[in-house]
Chain A
């Protein structure tokens, strides 16, 4: 929402509170320091904010998974040196301390430089991905014309570093795990990117800011409330689960097969960095899903707009997405490698192409009255045909034992 649409000046100031705060802080500084201070004031809140969110979401994940499995989850560590347990909120601090003071084991035959660099470099794309996401009206670190392209380009470079970690460990499980990770990530990158085509087509821009602006107004203007947007959102969501190595697509670290995949030779704080990069990737994917499909930093209803900074709505939506990630992790078992690949290439990819076609039809259908049934029929038809076809094509039969019986 641009500032001119807000007629009430008080509301505008509430919406722009963070922007104004930053400007008033910078204006006090001498001119030479203004530029670095501005950069610092952009980077630090994002870094600290998402690192805090990481700590809290590890706690929330363990709590949520516990409740799903009829357990309590962590509830012992509270405020240090007191009896306050605070529902175990001290757990992330304890975990962080534990990770810091653990021994850092480097295998004798490992490529020591790469082994050391991989987790550190992995954090760079993980944080860079946050730089193009609009968090509020006027709160976007870098507003580049090809923000979406930048996001995917940066996101793709994590694959290289994961392979780097697997290769440098000089361990067969690490190498196999990282190869699996790459196979999975490249396979799912395709539906991930193609499912965003429809949004690019609708907004007519690769800039994430203009994509958010295209969803201004009420809930109904959000892309998720169109047939192609809903299908695209679901496809994007599933692919982002795979991109973030989240369950049910967490086979790169499948304990029963390859122990911990590329993480096997990492311990202590390096392991924590991998863990953090994984979660940051998840937040970035969630943030992009919000920006593309869920109206970005906009409030669900026009009358709520302006009372709170847009960051509030953004964080609320992000927390909801993280909770659904946790919910899915608590529900789904891990897929097998062939199931994962089949799903990516035989279902996700055709479906995302169908969604692109549906978005085109929506554009030329002339109004939702015709567009809705047409697009919904196309998408649902493709979904039904694909699922039925794949089900038949499995060609399952009773296993015949040659020696056991």
Chain B
């Protein structure tokens, strides 16, 4: 019948109109500056460096292996190795970056740096509103501004951070066990050595051995 399609269409638009006032599904708009934008866990914008603990300098996970610098397709990462070393999370002495700069205007947000990092030190941030009032300011992001606590990573990438934290805790535990085992072994060795020395000295004076046994 002529006109039945029109009625159908009018019904649909009326449903949309009324629905936009009652149902979230029919009005998915987020009024962005007033309401926070919902950021997906897997989104990636710009890299940041993770540090453990409270001290950005001391806890920085980066060991300046420079893999990210080499892998970066647009070559936006610039790293200078420090001359000295600092202990990492398991207490091993590691080199740290004296300079770690990323050029915001060159970075293409590919996330390859985070992909290749063997030390789980660099990750992609989800912060997207990086606008600046001056077009020359804040384009070179230095180490101080790149360093963000592990809590930030746990917040923005919870599943990723959970796995990493677990792995690192296991590594620390293993290291501790190894250290304890080493200590125990060293102690046992020392005792054994002492005992051997003792037995050697007792062999020289056999009369004292029964006294020791009793």
Contact = CB atoms under 8 A, between A and B. Distances in A.
Interface of A: 64, 67-72, 75, 327-328, 330-332, 347, 383-384, 386-387, 390-391
B2 A67 contact: no
B16 A391 contact: no
Q: Which 3 A-B pairs have the closest CB atoms?
A: A387-B2, A331-B13, A67-B20
Contacts of A75: 31
Given A67-B20, A68-B16, A390 B31 contact: no
Nearest to B29: A72
B78 to A, nearest CB: 41
A64 B12 CA distance: 14
A48 to B, nearest CB: 30
A326 to B, nearest CB: 10
B2 A70 contact: no
B26 interface: yes
A328 B10 contact: yes
Given A67-B21, A68-B13, A68-B17, A332 B6 contact: yes
Contact of B2 (A68, A330, A331, A390): A390
Given A67-B16, A68-B16, A70-B20, 6 more contacts: A67-B17, A67-B21, A68-B17, A70-B26, A327-B10, A383-B2
B41 to A, nearest CB: 26
A70 B27 CA distance: 5
Interface in B2-24: 2-3, 6, 9-10, 12-14, 16-17, 20-21
B10 A70 contact: no
A121 to B, nearest CB: 35
B36 interface: no
Contacts of A332: 6, 9
Per DSSP, chain A at the interface is helix
Contacts of A327: 10, 13-14, 17
Contacts of A64: 17
Nearest to A329: B13
Interface-central residue, A70, A327, A347, A383, by most chain B CB under 10 Å: A70
Contacts of A347: 2
A330 B13 CA distance: 7
Contacts of B27: 67, 70-72
Contacts of A387: 1-3
Contacts of A331: 6, 9-10, 12-13
Contacts of B213: none
Contacts of B14: 327
A344 to B, nearest CB: 14
B35 to A, nearest CB: 12
Nearest to B25: A70
A72 B29 CA distance: 7
B19 to A, nearest CB: 8
A71 B29 contact: yes
B28 interface: yes
A67 B22 CA distance: 11
Contacts of A384: 1
Nearest to B14: A327
Contact of A391 (B2, B6, B9, B31): B2
A225 B119 CA distance: 81
A140 to B, nearest CB: 34
